[in-house]
Structure 1
């Protein structure tokens, strides 16, 4: 009896995001790598991954020219 073929493991981020993460991390490592420990670089990488994911989510939202920012309405109430 043949074993089922294992499903391919997908990377955590899509390829364009992965290349963006790598480029930003290389920039940080080149500028500040001599001042950061391996543990700090790992923390920076996690932060960069979060920033890239957030920025990709924001870029996915399409706005029309007529879209305006939401203005919170708080009526003024004078104290009695």
Structure 2
């Protein structure tokens, strides 16, 4: 029987690892910033923050203002 893994640092370590991985893949040219933007937009469209999926416009704002800087650095949304 497999046990459920214990979240480290309340799950925050997962986010830090994912952000570092994405940045490394962009630096190595495996992913382009446009590909990262597209993946983040697709994920954001499926967020349920207000009882239903976000509108395309709301998802775009979340990607530009919050997700891109978190994954690609503060200059990414410029």
> Shared topology, TM-score over 0.5?
no
Larger Cα-atom Rg: 1
TM category, shorter: 0.3 to 0.5
TM-score with structure 2 setting the length: 0.36
